[in-house]
Amino acid sequence: MLYNKFMAEPLFVSELIGDYLEHVEIELGRSLNTVRNYELYLNRFLELSSEDLDHDLTPAEITPELLRKYRLRLNRVEDEHGRHLTPATQGYYLIALRGFLKYLAKRGIKSLDPVLVELPKSHRPQVTFLHYDEVERLLDSIDLETETGLRDRAIIELLFSSGLRVSELCGLNIADINLDRREFVVRGKGSKDRPIFIDESAASRVKDYLSVRHDSLPALFLNNSKNTGSTSTDGNYRRLTPRSIQRIIEKYTRLAGITKHVTPHTLRHSFATDLLMNGADLRSVQSLLGHSDISTTQIYTHITDTHLKEVHAKFHSETT
C-alpha cells in the first residue's frame, strides 16, 4: 500500500472510506443504519468513478472532471427493474461524498473541494396536514368506552400535541413521561435529546388510559390483541409498533370521513403548521421537531404563506 511519508496516511480512497465511516459512527454519533447507507453510497461512488482506472483511486484523483463523470453515470444507472435513481436519491449519494471530502480536508489530505459537490435540485415535498377542526373530527370518532379507545385517543392526542415521530412514540415507557409537569425528553435521530411538551388534554388522556391498565409492562402503549404471544423476556412483546399505530390512524381517518391520506407523520406536520399559523417562529419549531437543519423545517413555510394575504389586506388597503 502507498503511504504519505509525512502523514503516514493511506492514499487509497477505499481505505479512507473505512476510516470515514468510523468517524461518522463514533465522532458524529450517527446511527448504524446511517453508517450502512453511507457505506453503500461511497462504495457505489468508488465503483462508478473507477471504471476508467486500472488502479485504486486516490484522493488526489477526485477532480471536477471525475465528479462530472460520476454524476453522469449516477444519473444513468439502473436497478434490476430498469428504473433510474430519483434526484432525491442521487442527492443522498452526493451528500455522502461531500461529507467524505470534508473529512479528507479536515485531515489535511488533498482532494476535491467539498463545495464543488452541488446537490441536484429537487421539488419541494408536498406536506399533508390536518386543520384543527379535522383533528377534532378524528378524535371525536373514537369510542372512549373501551380500553382500546382510551389508548387510541391518548396516542392521537399525544402525537398532535407533541410533534413526536412515530418511532419515538413507540419507544416511550411509562417512566419516561412526566404527566404532571407535561414535559419529558426523547432521544431522536442522531441520538440527540430534545425536550417534549404536551398540553393538558393530552396528559389527561394518557392518564385515563393508564388508569385502566392492569399490567406491570414498561411500554407506554400496548397491543391489546389476544393473538399477541410472548416471545420476549424484556417486557416489550406487547409494545405497539409504528405499523400498528399507522393502522390505528387509518381506522379513525375512515370513521371521521377524512379523505386525506393521514399517517402518524401527518400529525407531526399538523403540529408544526399549527404552531406556525399561531405565530411561532421557525427556529422554535425547528427545535421542537428536532430538525438538525432549519432547511428541513422550511418545508412548512409555504403552508403559512396564506397569512400573507391577510397581512396585505390589513396593512395595504386600496387607495381611492
Q: Kindly list the catalytic residues.
A: 165, 189, 265, 268, 291, 300
Q: DSSP letter at 184?
A: E
Whether the CB-CB separation of 212 and 147 falls below 8 Å is answered with: yes
Q: Which residues pair with 185 in a beta bridge?
A: 195
What's the CA gap between 37 and 49, in Å, rounded?
Answer: 18
What's the CA gap between 1 and 6, in Å, rounded?
Answer: 15
Helices (H), 28-85: 32-49, 64-76
Q: Cell numbers 403552508 label which residue?
A: 303
What amino acid occupies position 228?
A: T
Sign of the C-alpha dihedral computed for residues 251, 256, 260 and 264 taken in this order: negative
What's the CA gap between 215 and 77, in Å, rounded?
Answer: 53
How far, in Å, are 69, 140, 166 from residue 228 at the CA level?
53, 28, 21
Helices (H), the chain: 13-26, 32-49, 64-76, 87-106, 132-140, 147-162, 166-170, 200-211, 242-255, 264-277, 282-289, 294-297, 301-304, 306-315
What's the CA gap between 308 and 292, in Å, rounded?
Answer: 27
Distance of alpha carbon 257 from the chain centroid: 28
What amino acid occupies position 254?
A: R
Distance of alpha carbon 130 from the chain centroid: 19
